Amino acid sequence: MQYQFPDNFWWGSASSAPQTEGHSLSGGKSATIWDHWFARQPSRFHQQVGPAETSGFYQHWRDDIALLKQLNHNTFRTSISWARLIPQGRGELNPQAVDFYQQMIDEMLAQGITPFINLFHFDMPLVMQQQGGWENREVVEAYAEYADKCFQLFGDRVQHWFTFNEPIVPVEGGYLYDFHYPNVVDFKRAATVAYHTMLAHALAVKKYRRRQQGGEIGIILNLTPSYARSGNPADQQAANIADLMFNRSFLDPALRGEYPQQLVELLAQHGQLPECQPGDSELLEAGIVDLLGINYYQPRRIKCRDSLVNPDSPFMPEWFFDHYEMPGRKMNPYRGWEIYEPGIYDILTNLRQNYGNPRCFISENGMGVENEGRFAQAGQIQDDYRIDFVREHLQWVHRGIAEGSNCLGYHMWTFIDNWSWCNAYKNRYGFVQLDLQTQQRSVKKSGEWFARTASENGFS
Ligand code: BGP
């Protein structure tokens, strides 16, 4: 076989509680910011489809886990919903949620599927947001209590924990570019949210290690390699700043326990540094992860700015660079993102050469497709484009591993087509097609391909 992967390679897919569970206001769960925002502004959501309309994992988990097994997953990631487990954010547990998560995890284990459990996937409980969300250090404490509760309840069964999925997304969406609640546009507040998120991460890591449960804890970051338009110093400098802002702002604290000096200086120079407290540096250092999840979808193409910044305009990352469309780049024709497979290899190489080759795995990679039903033949979606997408990315992962990268697995986004934030069901990503009305699941051609690849531990 041409592309044979190391023994015990993790083959699986990723999902999250808010995108799959449904029952968003039942089973004792309280509202998250998504329930709240949807109720107030349904028009911000594609076809006005909100977080209640999902594949109903809260109900169908047993069948879905059987399907995972059928597709030869040896690992699967989902998340716990904070608002379901502790509806008031702090304090009393919801017994229905404890039962649900316990049974779900036990069923995965019984089917030979190792659960990877994430604690926060953009789903801030509304009660916590009403107290200021990540801007409030009390919420950081509350999150750490919630995390510790999860370790206490499920840590005997779960050996792979993640504190956050893509923590930069709520920062960008909620505080910079207005695509998540609370729809603030303010760099300083965004920087505070980013900083507090990493403190929350580190506190959770500390609590996990204190329990000595024998497993590992990590974080999942969406890394977008920044490629400069040219070797010209101005373009290079622009790409470097984009990298600092969008990658290293989370990668460095997660893997080195500190922020890049250059980023700190840049923000200090512009009066944008968040407020620090004594002890923060030690805390960040304690947050160095055991395992890094890498979500990779697309690169970032950067050039220097064409025009001078108006110093009276609000401070934004784009003060330092412009995005540019590289001529001849390969686009996903069904979703509008660039596809650049070598980016996944460049990430692995960067981690190996500059970050001590950490234990890592590809925790999300995937191809969203609009109106995917048009590719159905005899009842099955013939998604050869997705097979090509996965295969080509895996070839680069394989090369990275051959050169020594410590990449332990590959998880596809996602298992069953799911609800996705403001996009709702616009982009379908699953190995399994979901009929939202009937809730029927149908395995796509890519699901069958992946099942074969997982069972053979590679492909030719
Ligand atoms: C990632 C998120 C996922 C999922 C995916 C697809 O950034 O971790 O939760 O939403 O992107 O996104 P979309 O449906 O917007 O194309």
Summarize pLDDT for 116-167 with one digit per residue, the tens. Answer: 999 999 999 999 999 999 999 999 999 999 999 999 999 999 999 999 999 9
Domains located in the chain, CATH noted: 3-459 (3.20.20.80)
Cα gap 248→226, rounded to integer Å:
11
Cα gap 412→400, rounded to integer Å:
18
Q: How far is the CA of 147 from the centre of ligand 1 (A)?
A: 23
Kind and range of the H or E run holding 204: helix 187-211
167, 234, 244, 303 from 231: Cα distances, Å: 31, 8, 18, 10
- What atom of ligand 1 comes closest to residue 16's alpha carbon? 9
Cα gap 405→345, rounded to integer Å:
9
154, 161, 283, 415 from 157: Cα distances, Å: 6, 11, 27, 22
Q: Which residues are catalytic?
A: 364
Instruction: Give the up-direction half-sphere exposure of residue 138: CA atoms within 13 A in the CB hemisphere.
Output: 9
Q: How far is the CA of 420 from the centre of ligand 1 (A)?
A: 6
Instruction: Give the up-direction half-sphere exposure of residue 149: CA atoms within 13 A in the CB hemisphere.
Output: 23
For residue 43, what pLDDT is reported?
98
Q: How far is the CA of 91 from the centre of ligand 1 (A)?
A: 31
- What atom of ligand 1 comes closest to residue 122's alpha carbon? 9
What would the pLDDT profile of 39-54 be if each residue is shown by its tens digit?
Answer: 999 999 999 999 999 9
Q: Are 389 and 396 in contact (CB under 8 A)?
A: no
Which residue's CA is the closest to the ligand 1 atom numbered 14? 420
Nearest residue to 293 (alpha-carbon basis) of 160, 419, 185, 401:
160
What would the pLDDT profile of 218-275 be if each residue is shown by its tens digit?
Answer: 999 999 999 999 999 999 999 999 999 999 999 999 999 999 999 999 999 999 999 9
Contacts of 353 (CB under 8 A, 6+ apart): none
Q: How far is the CA of 167 from the centre of ligand 1 (A)?
A: 13
Helix boundaries (H) for 361-418: 384-402
Q: How far is the CA of 365 from the centre of ligand 1 (A)?
A: 10
Which residue's CA is the closest to the ligand 1 atom numbered 2? 166
Cα gap 272→175, rounded to integer Å:
14
Ligand 1 pocket at CB < 6 A: 16, 19, 165-166, 222, 295, 364, 368, 413, 420-421, 423, 427
What would the pLDDT profile of 343-364 be if each residue is shown by its tens digit?
Answer: 999 999 999 999 999 999 999 9
Cα gap 145→154, rounded to integer Å:
14
Indicate the top mutation candidate among 122, 223, 389, 413 to test ligand 1's pocket, ranked by most ligand atoms within 8 A of CB.
413
Indicate the top mutation candidate among 119, 332, 364 to test ligand 1's pocket, ranked by most ligand atoms within 8 A of CB.
364
Give the CA angle between residues 233, 237, 242 to the nearest 5°.
Answer: 150
Percent of the chain topping pLDDT 70:
100
The complex's ipTM works out to 0.97
Average pLDDT over residues 101-110: 98
